[in-house]
Structure 1
Amino acid sequence: MSIRKRFIRAYLFSLLAIGITPLQDAWAQLAQGEDILVHHDLSVELRPATHEMTAKDRIELDVDEQVKSVSFMLACTLQVQSIAVVAPAMTREQKSSSQSAAFTTVQIPDTFVQRINVLLPEKHGRKITLLWVYRGIVNDPPREPRHLRFVTPSETAGHIGPEGVYLSGESQWYPDVAESFSTYRVTTLVPQGWSVVGSGEKVAETDISGMVSTTWVVGERSEAFTLVANKFVVKTREWKASTGQRVDLQTYFLPDNAALADEYLDATAQYLDAYIRILGEYPFEKFAVVENFFASGLGMPSFTLLGSGSIKRHYIQPYALGHEIVHSWIGNSVFNRDGHGNWVEGLTTYLANYYWHELVHDDRQALEQRRMMLQGFNLYVKPEADYPVSQFLRKHDEKDNAIGYQKSAFVFHLLRQELGDEAFWRGLKVFVNRYRTHPADWGAIERVFAGASGRDLRWFFEQWVERSGAPQISLADASASKMKENGNGEAWQLTIRIRQVDKPYQMAIPVHVVMEDTTETN
């Protein structure tokens, strides 16, 4: 499961609706969308014993000159001490200067988030740097999920505590703009004996007065920065793919599971080598398997976060570790366009949970996976509760899982059958490369595969993605009539009539013919 920021475009619309955002600024932010917030240079000190954090965030913005204010989101348990507009030095000898920025704070109803509206200088250029200083407590201990555990991980808005640290984009632990994609430089300070894992590449680690300082850099645009910390036993292996690409493989395990590191590193190398050939260059410098202090199975940019119980149970199967590794490309490099459906989980499920078995020539298990996908849809999706794949956003129950993961995976299998292997795999590589560090939706998938195949695929996506339900077919009639002999023995003409319920689907249906001496499938 990949994880993303959820407070998106609807958030700004809600501010407009209740009249607390200047109209021209809100629409300007919506128009600029992902391009407003360019870079975070963040320094944060974590104190697990008291659940506290103190932070400074130097934020680089790119805004139109007419924009008078910018709205940020931050967890409501964090208090902003100051925000300053930083003016760059004009010469090497001159120091940069700053002036305080006025801001207002409003609690967003029914959320744990506050909206902070920062007034910009009257006359400003496109490039603006804001220096935030803030602190507070992040203490939301993980709770049992409201739904079945296999569907969702334990629930928390973020936690800093003696048992571990978990701060994701959804924790709103740093000031953020809705729908933004930015680069990051994050320096953390934690007690001695603790280790930090972050998105991207670790570029520095030093001891400072009984604390450990670590710096992480994300050089390509990303949706969010996730930070995890605990008393880990760390193991690193330098690895080179068959394509020549070098990737650091790592495990961050708690002491009880540290002996399992090599098993996970071996499995990681096997999956990466296979999927690099299918999807192209691995998009990060490292891949780490990180043990979490609560139940989870989450794919982050450059690492996966697995609960202790999963680690202990050798969670290296294709549907487990393989699934999270595929998210490195699908979801964490090519992003899902929020509010336009969720194609990410279906494609990841197809490539990991199903296609891996084809790769290793386990045809029996591949067939079993397809059967289980169909069985799940038939079992959990009632006609009155069904909805199109295009409307799936995230899973809350077995029905959502059957539609957004299983049926969606089958859509990609049907697309592959329709186009043939050469066009399908070529189109997939083009898609991953073209939309790297950018959001994509079902429309983008349709355009790329139509281009790769040279065919109009509107009917396919309208039928399988935008329409609810599934084909219901039956054999209405079958008859055989003897034809004139042509010198090669007896010849028969077989006529078959297929019945479909409701609006018919355009699809190929295999026919299995059993004769006295032979069997044929057409």
Structure 2
Amino acid sequence: MVKMKILPLFLFLFSPFAGAGVVGHDIRLRLEPEQNLLEAEDSITMPEAKTGLIFSLHKGLSPVVLTKGASLTLLPPEKPGDVYAVNYSSSWDVFEKYSLSLPKGTKTFKLKYGGRIAHPPAAQEEDYARGFSETPGLISPEGCYLSGSTFWYPEFDGELSSFKLETDLPEGYESVAGGDRTGRVVKDGRTRSVWKAAVPQDEITLACGKYKEYADHGEKPELQVFLREADEALAQKYLTAARQYVEMYAGLIGPYPYGKFALVENFWETGYGVASFTLLGPKIIRFPFILNSSYPHEILHNWWGNGVFVDYEKGNWCEGLTAYLADYLISEGRGKGAEYRMAALQKYADYVRAGKDFPLRGFQSRRSPASEAVGYGKSLMFYHMLRTSLGDVKFKAGLRDFYRENKFRSASFDDLKRSFEKQTGKGRLDKFFHQWVDLPGAPELALRNVKITREAEGFGLEFEIVQLQDGPAYQLEVPVYIQLENISRPRKSLLIVTQKEESFKYSSMVKPARIAVDPEFDLFRKLDPLETPPTLSRLLGAAGPLLVLPAAASSGTYSAYETFAAAWPADKGNAPELRKDSELSALPKNRQIWIFGNENRFYPELAGGLARLGARLGPEKAVVDNQDFPFAAATMVFAGFNPGDPAYSAGLILTDRPEKLRQLAAKLPHYGKYGYLVFDAGMAAVKTGGWNPDNSASGQCTKAENGCLNPRAPLTATLGPYAVPPVYPAREPLAAPVSVFSADRMKSHAVYLASELEGRGSGETGLEKAYRHIGKMFLEYGLKPFFDGSASPEDGFAGTRFAQEWEENGHALRNLAGVIEGSGRKDEYVVVSAHYDHLPSEKGKVYPGANDNASGIALLFELAGYYSKRRPSRTIVFAAFDGEERGRLGSRHFIKNLGGGRAAKINADINLDSVGRLDGGKMLFLNSGSSDKWTHILRGAGFVTGLDYEASRQNLDSSDQASFIEAGIPAVQLLSGINADYHKFSDTAEKLDYAGMVKEAEFLKEIIDYLAGDSDLITRPPGSPSSLISHPSSLNKRTVSTGLIPSFEWQGKGVKADSVAPGSPLSATEFRAGDVVTRINGIPTDDLRSYSRELGKHVPGDKIKITYLSDGLEKTAELELTAK
């Protein structure tokens, strides 16, 4: 968030920033952190000469005026209520006011002052979901933080400031301030630095500490990182990310407004964005997801908040716009924009109750979940609707104009309106801004009277859109999607709705099957409680929730429940009510409730409702997402519907460790978006997730004349046979950071390798060409040979130096391997591998092998190019293997002939095989059971990149990683997914998803950075190599298919379906994605090996019976197998 300061109320009443002049400060500041002291001289130049001024300064600094003929008078204290706190706490009584008399004609004068500033950080009341502490200012041995809210320099009515600041600190301490550092010297045990800001600032912020400094002095702006402990790898991550996001926002909005941007590690947990730097806490900066969430948010504040200032009296437009162009934009780029919008609407519905709503123009800063839901959530939806209405081109033009016209000025919603009306015409946005900025509340929509009519040509669909909210109608542009029978992509119409009830008609030659109003949550509106599955935030934001405790619990358990209730994370005016289950004859219908313990008499009632959402609670375990979670040594939380009225929610808390409930009370507010949580004995989250929308109340419909019409599903109606799930078109993000990896480069390599090279089978000319291409690229990237006594150059081809040559079974084979030597632990290795051979030609026809495995080699090249410009601690080996298609001959030979104890020094292998068909799906990492560290490494990469993946712990012999695992070396294979072109002539380069390969490269970079860093070698593979499932010989030789596409992430018994192929045998049954096949013809199928073995007994046309689990229930289906 942009850091905001406390200002006297009269500044807003009489001196708005927009009309302020610029005051020049020339400050010499001496800091003594051990004593909490500062001493300062400030030579101040006013924009015009005045004989009388009033300024504010921190209490106890005892200012003295050094200008001849001038005098100072301490003014009486402010009356209660005369201080307006833009930040959270008006209790910060930290400043006092002085009257300054000056000789006539004086513009420049000098003040001297000094004293202690020591305000320990304190937590905000009510804002329990964030957990940050705040301080108006602090000088301490750990460091210092001085901002506008500190009043550490003389602050004049409504001033903007330019400054020169010379800091003087004990040696070992460094300072960071806004503007550019123009000098630094260490002398006589002191460090003196000079910071200058020639452009106007709305406050001067200074941080100090014992920092290790890192910098990127390349292009402008200069990028800096100040860490409290040396960490080159972490600093480089932040420098790289900063360059990407600064360039992205400069292209979207306009030039970066300052000469530097710095990340500064604070000495307590904060998330501040101030002019030209950000202050993030020591834990926060080490969370892997911060790089692509909070960090770009704070970078963007240099445009919004610290480039264009906020006129707080007229409302804070800044936080919503920053959230929209940072947090939301990143989610949109990952294809999760609709999820983000739904969460924003959900938070508004959950936290903003009667009496807590207010207009956007009334928002100054986040003080509670309710104020956040308005000032961030409603605000970002306001910008989203404005963008949707104008279109991306005009929306971007409006942003650029707003920035250009208001740079280094204070601006309001009115200024925003003026800029965007340059795109629409003056006055065209009056109604839009008035209803969304000046008024509280939100529209509530319902779909009514849906009817299909038969027409002379085709069909008619009649329906009404109703606004249910009290008060006048909103003027809305409502997206309506109509899906026709057997067509997955719905037709979109944008309907103008200006009345409380309006009728519409849609005509089509094909019969409509489904209508949905705003299914992707593009409108700011109040969600119906049944429109989305229940979440914990509904319960956390509830007004006066009822907590029902089991009277049958032991005294110790009951006491723990009471302790949890006392620690309830609530605003003080919303304390929960506690009742024993024995005191209630039934659960109340009209409120949010919590049930504690399975000994609670209402537990069976709530468990039944959870079963309909997809969780089955038995006597000893819970089954969620078809996974078993024993109650022993676990704590579980579920959000469901109130059994008496699904318009309200009910929560369930189960634990066999009551002493852990106090920890749960602290954790719970951070998990508001989830529907269920499972914690282990140490209170680490082992399973979190949300309910399938199809299992929500809105997904349960009743039959009506024209199909499925449910009055509790206010915005959707299913109108007839409806077997095809809707597929909404992908949307282009407004902007995206430029990756360090290139889709075009990878495409050029894959196209070449998959072209008519006369085949890449053993002995074929194409394999020789591929070999030479790999050697050429290794030379170009400056790799060094890995093999001792590498082969001599042949035909003058220098790439031969990377080769390992041998003969096996009458065939000549050649691996290639080049290295980037490590900078520290260079005798330890990380291997990145891919095979370059493919199937031999058949009857003169060449197998292109684009996905298998030209894609893997292309991705390997891109990673080699990236790391050739960097030197991680460990040596990275890039290996291209021959003979994979003939039983992993190349990788087995590589391992067998390592020599010199090298195998024990390999941290891990990452094998790239068939990585080019991501197509919006999840990356698959096979053999993640080869080290118990893979789970954590992959999770970290997922946090940083925000990309989805699945990890399979099964020991699949699917590619060259198996050779490493057989030798006791941890290894995984990256696989983009299963497709019908595997080992076929149709595996061609134009089908590859090169943008998806860029995402894979971003993900792999995080994995390689960790493995090639200074951490310990990861744990070795457990068990025996004989446990490997022969994937090529077993899984791929069967000739029949059910249509099941397996989930490799599944760890339980059986084969779980990630999806079901359209038109396949399974698609004609009730079997669906997420179900688990447990038996075929009564024979158990505990894993992919046994599943494939059973199918291998059959031929196309055979009929089989499968037994499977669906939402915990055992079902059967009969199907006729088709050819694979």
TM-score of the aligned structures, taking structure 1 as reference length: 0.87
Change (3 A) 1:309 1:407: same
Structure 2 residue aligned with 1:45, among 6, 26, 30? 30
Q: Partner letter of residue 383 of structure 1?
A: A
User: 2:180 is matched with which residue?
Assistant: 201
Q: Is the 8 A contact 1:57 1:132 kept in 2?
A: yes
User: 1:179 is matched with which residue?
Assistant: 158
d(CA) in 1 for partners of 2:17 and 2:94?
Answer: 26
Report the 3-state secondary structure (helix = DSSP H, G, I; strand = E; otherwise coil) of the residue aligned with 2:482: strand
d(CA) in 2 for partners of 1:12 and 1:144?
Answer: 27
User: 2:415 is matched with which residue?
Assistant: 444
d(CA) in 2 for partners of 1:102 and 1:202?
Answer: 33
d(CA) in 1 for partners of 2:79 and 2:279?
Answer: 30
Gaps spanning 5+ residues in structure 2: where?
81-92, 494-1124
Q: Is the 8 A contact 1:152 1:395 kept in 2?
A: no
Structure 1 residue aligned with 2:455, among 483, 499, 503? 483
d(CA) in 2 for partners of 1:459 and 1:383?
Answer: 24
d(CA) in 2 for partners of 1:315 and 1:300?
Answer: 21
Is 1:409 matched up with 2:380? Answer: yes
d(CA) in 2 for partners of 1:291 and 1:494?
Answer: 59
Give RMSD over aligned pairs.
2.0
Change (3 A) 1:12 1:495: closer
Aligned residue runs from structure 1 range 203-282, under 5 A = 203-240=182-219, 246-255=220-229, 259-282=233-256
d(CA) in 1 for partners of 2:148 and 2:280?
Answer: 17
Question: Which structure exhibits the higher relative contact order, with contacts defined as CA atoms closer than 8 Å and separated by 6 or more residues?
Answer: 1
1:359-412 CA-to-partner distances (Å, cap 9, x unmatched) read x3x22x212111111111111111332111111111111000100001100000
d(CA) in 1 for partners of 2:370 and 2:231?
Answer: 34
Aligned residue runs from structure 1 range 53-202, under 5 A = 53-63=38-48, 68-80=51-63, 82-85=64-67, 98-109=68-79, 111-121=93-103, 124-125=104-105, 128-148=107-127, 150-151=129-130, 153-202=132-181
Structure 2 residue aligned with 1:368, among 339, 345, 361? 339
1:296-327 CA-to-partner distances (Å, cap 9, x unmatched) read 00001000000111012235344310111110
Report the 3-state secondary structure (helix = DSSP H, G, I; strand = E; otherwise coil) of the residue aligned with 2:133: coil
User: 2:460 is matched with which residue?
Assistant: 493
User: 2:479 is matched with which residue?
Assistant: 510
Is 1:286 matched up with 2:268? Answer: no
Structure 1 residue aligned with 2:325, among 334, 351, 361? 351
Change (3 A) 1:136 1:37: farther
Gaps spanning 5+ residues in structure 1: where?
14-26, 86-97, 241-245, 486-490
d(CA) in 2 for partners of 1:104 and 1:349?
Answer: 42
Task: Give the stretch that moved more between structures: 30-39 or 100-109.
Answer: 30-39
Change (3 A) 1:252 1:174: same
> After the TM superposition, which parts of structure 1 deviate over 6 Å for at least 4 consecutive aligned residues?
none
Q: CA deviation at 1:37?
A: 5.0
User: 2:444 is matched with which residue?
Assistant: 472
Q: Is the 8 A contact 2:18 2:409 kept in 1?
A: no
d(CA) in 1 for partners of 2:191 and 2:207?
Answer: 14
d(CA) in 1 for partners of 2:17 and 2:314?
Answer: 18
d(CA) in 2 for partners of 1:37 and 1:188?
Answer: 22
Report the 3-state secondary structure (helix = DSSP H, G, I; strand = E; otherwise coil) of the residue aligned with 1:511: strand
Q: CA deviation at 1:8?
A: 4.2
d(CA) in 1 for partners of 2:244 and 2:338?
Answer: 22
Is 1:330 matched up with 2:304? Answer: yes
1:67-114 CA-to-partner distances (Å, cap 9, x unmatched) read 54210000002111x2133xxxxxxxxxxxx43434334333562111
Task: Give the stretch that moved more between structures: 267-276 or 312-321.
Answer: 312-321
User: 1:453 is matched with which residue?
Assistant: 424
d(CA) in 2 for partners of 1:79 and 1:493?
Answer: 80
Change (3 A) 1:109 1:293: farther
Q: Is the 8 A contact 1:34 1:181 kept in 2?
A: no
Q: CA deviation at 1:257?
A: 5.1
Q: Partner letter of residue 508 of structure 1?
A: E
Q: Is the 8 A contact 1:33 1:178 kept in 2?
A: no
d(CA) in 2 for partners of 1:512 and 1:32?
Answer: 46
Q: Is the 8 A contact 2:265 2:282 kept in 1?
A: yes
1:475-509 CA-to-partner distances (Å, cap 9, x unmatched) read 12122333333xxxxx2232221110232111122
Structure 2 residue aligned with 1:418, among 389, 394, 407? 389
User: 1:7 is matched with which residue?
Assistant: 7
d(CA) in 1 for partners of 2:247 and 2:491?
Answer: 37
User: Percent identity of the aligned residues?
Assistant: 31
Change (3 A) 1:408 1:291: same
Is 1:300 matched up with 2:285? Answer: no
Q: Is the 8 A contact 2:324 2:384 kept in 1?
A: yes
Q: Partner letter of residue 40 of structure 1?
A: H
d(CA) in 2 for partners of 1:472 and 1:383?
Answer: 15
Q: Is the 8 A contact 1:199 1:226 kept in 2?
A: yes
Q: Is the 8 A contact 2:70 2:101 kept in 1?
A: no
